[in-house]
């Protein structure tokens, strides 16, 4: 009986050690994915086709006859292996001066506040620094003439849209751009840029998400 008790005690000790080791390993695996300001690999510049957004958000301030085409949705820090940091502490409220700067870039204050708290905080640059980077990133991308605001619907295949952007921006590699659709309409164009804001390849998981064939590009409002 004493021998049996000793064996059972050894088994329990072994299982406990394995459990502790697994818990430590699990924590170690999670640690690199914790959102830390400034810890990321590249940026994803996301340009939203405002007329498509306005199809379902007619009361949004950007949809009241502004005539927008592409607008800045965000400049998002990304991990090369997939995923992204978000809401990196400390998440601070924008000051009046920071808000004024941000409003020169984003179409609405609601979008500005969301993008700063979720993505901008992870840049590690502070609000003014982040807005300066976003300003430079937008300025670095030339919108194709064929995709400037227009008054009638046009139809393109997703690859044609990507090709138009690459023709207007020869530095964008074939794997450095993604076209995103909302149903049958163009929603966004996403351009991958290094921390130095030079065009580069996208990381894992960033790819075109559109149906095959022509997609509609709605006219400006």
pLDDT per residue, tens digit, the chain (221 aa), is 444 434 344 434 444 444 434 433 333 333 345 899 999 999 999 999 999 999 999 999 999 888 999 999 999 999 999 999 999 999 999 999 999 999 999 999 999 999 999 999 999 999 999 999 999 999 999 999 999 999 999 999 999 999 999 999 999 999 999 999 999 999 999 999 999 999 999 999 999 999 999 999 999 97
Does a structural domain hold residue 2? Answer: no
Structure tokens at 112: 């500005």
Q: d(Cα 138, Cα 48) in Å, to the nearest integer?
A: 12
Does a structural domain hold residue 29? Answer: no
DSSP per-residue letters across 140-200? HSPPPGGGS--SS-EEEEHHHHHHHHHHHSTTS-TTSEEEEEETTEEEEEEEEE-TT--B-
User: Which CA distances in Å does 151 have to 148, 218, 219?
Assistant: 10, 8, 5
Q: d(Cα 34, Cα 201) in Å, to the nearest integer?
A: 24
Does a structural domain hold residue 149? Answer: yes
What's the predicted TM-score (pTM) here?
0.84
Cis amide prior to 32 (ω within 30 degrees): no
What pLDDT is recorded for position 34?
A: 83
Does a structural domain hold residue 32? Answer: no
User: Which CA distances in Å does 98 have to 85, 111, 129, 171?
Assistant: 22, 14, 10, 31
Does a structural domain hold residue 12? Answer: no
CATH number at residue 86: 3.90.730.10
Count of domains in the chain? 1
Q: Which domain holds residue 196?
A: 41-217
Does a structural domain hold residue 3? Answer: no
DSSP code for 72: E
Nearest to 99 by CA among 119, 125, 134, 128: 128
Residue-wise burial string across 138-147, b where 16 or more C-beta atoms lie within 10 A, e elsewhere: beebebbeeb
What pLDDT is recorded for position 179?
A: 98
Does a structural domain hold residue 23? Answer: no
Q: d(Cα 67, Cα 10) in Å, to the nearest integer?
A: 74
């Amino acid at each position: 009986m004493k021998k049996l008790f000793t064996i059972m005690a050894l088994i329990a000790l072994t299982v406990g050690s394995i459990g502790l080791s697994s818990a430590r390993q699990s924590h170690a695996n999670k640690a690199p994915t914790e959102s830390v300001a400034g810890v990321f690999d590249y940026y994803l510049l996301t340009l939203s086709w405002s007329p498509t957004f306005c199809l379902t958000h007619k009361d949004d301030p950007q949809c009241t006859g502004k005539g927008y085409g592409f607008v800045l949705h965000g400049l998002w820090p990304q991990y090369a292996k997939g995923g992204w940091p978000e809401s990196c502490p400390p998440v601070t409220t924008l000051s009046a001066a920071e808000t004024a700067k941000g409003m020169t870039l984003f179409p609405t204050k609601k979008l500005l506040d969301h993008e700063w708290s979720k993505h901008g905080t992870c840049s590690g640059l502070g609000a003014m620094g982040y807005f300066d980077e976003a300003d430079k990133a937008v300025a670095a991308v030339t919108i194709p003439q064929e995709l400037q605001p227009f008054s009638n619907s046009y139809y393109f295949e997703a690859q044609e849209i990507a090709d138009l952007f690459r023709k207007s921006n020869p530095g964008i590699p074939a794997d450095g751009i993604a076209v995103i659709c909302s149903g049958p309409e163009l929603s966004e164009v996403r351009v991958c840029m290094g921390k130095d804001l030079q065009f580069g390849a996208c990381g894992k998981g960033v790819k075109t998400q559109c149906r095959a064939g022509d997609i509609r590009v709605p006219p400006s409002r």
